C-alpha cells in the first residue's frame, strides 16, 4: 500500500518510499545543521545519535537478502554508512566536525532526488 498525503490542491498525492527516505534524511540533516551552528552539546549529541541510527538502519536494510538495489549501489551506500558511523563517533568524541556528516547526507538526498549519482 502506498502512503498518501494531500497536495496543495486538496487531492491525494502519492508518496514513494524514496520520498519518505528523503524526508528522514532532510529532518536529520536539519538537526545536524542546527547543532553545527550552536554550542549546544546536547543538540549535537542528539543529532549525531539520530544520524547514527539512520545509517545503522540503512546498512541493515542494505545487507538483507531481499534488498533489490544493484550490488554496486548497495556497496557504495554501505561504505557511506560505515564512514558516517565512524565519523559520527569521532564527532561525539570531539575529534571531528559535523560538516562531513552533513555533506554525506546532502549527497544522498541529491541522489534520492535524481540530481546527482551518489
Distance CA 13, CA 104 (A): 29
pLDDT digits (tens, 9 = 90+) for 85-114: 999 999 999 999 999 999 999 999 999 998
pTM of the model: 0.84
Average pLDDT, stretch 76-84?
Answer: 97
Q: Higher-confidence residue: 72 or 2?
A: 72
Q: Which three cell numbers stand for residue 91?
A: 564527532
Neighbouring-strand partners of residue 13: 5
- CA distances for 33 relative to 3, 109, 110, 115, angstroms: 28, 15, 17, 21
Return the H-helix or E-strand segment holding 59.
helix 41-63
CA–CA dist 28, 50 (Å, integer):
7
Sequence-distant (≥ 6) Cβ neighbours of residue 88 within 8 angstroms: 48, 51, 52, 55, 101
Q: What is the per-residue pLDDT across 3-33, written as a single tens digit (0 to 9) for each?
A: 545 555 665 677 788 899 999 999 999 999 9
Amino acid at each position: 500500500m502506498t502512503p498518501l498525503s494531500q497536495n496543495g490542491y486538496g487531492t491525494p498525492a502519492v508518496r514513494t518510499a524514496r520520498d519518505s527516505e528523503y524526508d528522514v534524511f532532510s529532518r536529520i540533516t536539519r538537526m545536524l545543521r542546527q547543532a553545527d551552528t550552536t554550542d549546544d552539546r546536547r543538540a549535537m549529541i542528539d543529532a549525531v545519535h539520530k544520524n547514527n541510527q539512520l545509517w545503522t538502519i540503512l546498512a541493515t536494510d542494505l545487507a538483507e537478502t531481499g534488498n533489490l538495489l544493484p550490488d554496486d549501489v548497495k556497496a557504495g551506500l554501505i561504505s557511506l554508512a560505515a564512514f558516517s558511523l565512524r565519523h559520527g563517533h569521532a564527532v561525539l568524541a570531539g575529534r571531528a566536525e559535523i560538516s562531513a556528516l552533513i555533506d554525506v547526507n546532502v549527497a544522498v538526498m541529491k541522489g534520492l532526488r535524481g540530481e546527482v549519482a551518489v
